[in-house]
Amino acid sequence: MTITNLFVESRMTTISVYCSGSIMKGVSDERKLCWSDAERADVTTGAAPREVVFLNPDDPITDPRNTLGQFGRDMYQVMVATAVIVDARERRGIGIGVEMTAAALLGTPIIVVAPRNSKYRADELEYRGALVQDYVHPHVAALATAVTDDFVTAGEKLAEHAHEKKTEWPPMPEWLDRAITEYRDNVLPGDPPMQAALERLKPYPCAGRR
Which CATH number covers residue 66? Answer: 3.40.50.450
Domain range for 136 is: 3-201
Helix or strand or coil: residue 134? strand
206 in a domain, yes or no? no
210 in a domain, yes or no? no
What domain count does the chain have? 1
Helix or strand or coil: residue 16? strand
pLDDT digit string, tens, across residues 181-205: 999 999 999 999 999 999 998 755 4
Q: In the chain, what are the helix, strand and coil shares in percent, each to the nearest 5? A: 45, 20, 35
- Quickly list DSSP for 136-169: E-HHHHHH-SEEESSHHHHHHHHHHHGGG--SS-
209 in a domain, yes or no? no
pLDDT digit string, tens, across residues 61-111: 778 889 999 999 999 999 999 999 999 999 998 999 999 999 999 999 999
Whether the predicted pLDDT of 163 surpasses 70: yes
109 in a domain, yes or no? yes
162 in a domain, yes or no? yes
